[in-house]
């Protein structure tokens, strides 16, 4: 449930429609379009299976859905508000191959608290929603919270009967290493191409680092890149940005 708001309120629904409107306008004006989206156009093929982990309002899900059709996009978004917006976007764009999954992903199954931080007095940062970080409860001023179910990538794939995973986009505000720890079998078996935002400050809240994430993929033979209109080998991980982890067998 969504604490302090009793679920999705009428005001939040109205805000959700406004978010959909802003998202559509930004796409039409080509604003907030991350450059790595161009990279995905070079690697996603018809029939691929894609995971959008931390799908938010669905900008990446929409792109993936068009590129991989008739393949599927599994859009993981535990936040009630963001999922409402994602559903509206899916209906608007008729994204019939997007499967919405309303749970969080982590290193092990269980439950956890999703935190939606306050941005201003009457405004919350729904796009910054994240699994509660160590010590955050005492530091955060009156956030919205939501209790959510957590599963792992490996368990989800086993239960859903997913036979291949080709591309993963992961942006979960610092919990990326936990997500990949729970997907070790899937990564080792399918060697998906991974697009992942790394923020050292956020990762530290879960006792991990960008180097932990890079080391995880290196153990499977992956190489790390950034996208600068083309693939450029990553040199360090201090810059806050999207990083690409690609197995040599999948290099375009």
The better pLDDT of the pair 29, 104 is held by 104
Instruction: Give the chain's domain count.
Output: 1
Per the structure, the complete domain to which residue 168 belongs is given by 2-250
Q: 203-220 pLDDT, tens per residue? A: 999 999 999 999 999 999
Q: Look up the CATH number of the domain holding residue 146.
A: 3.40.50.150
Average pLDDT taken over every residue of the chain: 87
Q: In terms of DSSP bridges, do strands 130-131 and 123-124 run parallel, antiparallel, or are they unpaired?
A: unpaired
Tell whether the model's pLDDT for residue 200 goes beyond 50. yes
Is 5 a residue whose pLDDT tops 70? no
DSSP alpha helix (H) spans, the chain: 10-28, 36-43, 59-68, 80-93, 136-139, 153-160, 176-181, 184-190, 200-204, 210-218
Average pLDDT estimate for 69-84: 94
Which residues, 6+ apart, have CB-to-CB distance to 248 below 8 Å? Answer: 221, 223
If pLDDT is split at 50, 70 and 90, which confidence band does 24 have? low
Q: What's residue 19's pLDDT?
A: 55
What predicted TM-score, i.e. pTM, was given to this entire model? 0.86
């Amino acid at each position: 449930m969504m604490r302090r708001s009793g679920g999705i309120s009428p005001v939040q629904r109205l805000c959700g429609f406004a978010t959909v409107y802003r998202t559509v306008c930004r796409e039409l004006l080509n604003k907030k379009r991350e450059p790595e989206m161009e990279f995905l156009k070079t690697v996603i093929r018809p029939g691929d299976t894609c995971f959008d982990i931390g799908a938010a309002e669905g900008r990446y899900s929409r792109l993936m859905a068009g590129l991989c059709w008739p393949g599927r996009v599994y859009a993981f978004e535990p936040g009630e508000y963001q999922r409402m917006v994602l559903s509206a976007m899916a209906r608007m764009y008729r994204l019939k191959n997007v499967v919405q999954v309303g749970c969080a992903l982590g290193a092990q199954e269980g439950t956890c608290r999703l935190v939606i931080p306050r941005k201003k007095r009457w405004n919350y940062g729904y796009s910054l929603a994240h699994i509660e970080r160590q010590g955050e409860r005492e530091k955060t001023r009156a956030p919205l919270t939501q209790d959510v179910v957590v599963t792992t990538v490996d368990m989800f794939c086993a239960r859903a009967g997913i036979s291949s995973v080709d591309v993963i986009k992961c942006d979960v505000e610092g919990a990326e290493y936990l997500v990949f720890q729970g997907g070790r079998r899937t990564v080792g078996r399918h060697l998906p191409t991974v697009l992942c935002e790394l923020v050292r400050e956020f990762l530290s809240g879960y006792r991990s680092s960008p180097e932990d994430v890079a080391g995880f993929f290196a153990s499977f033979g992956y190489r790390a890149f950034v996208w600068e209109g083309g693939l450029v080998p990553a040199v360090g991980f201090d810059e806050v940005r999207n990083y690409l982890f690609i197995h040599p067998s999948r290099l375009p």
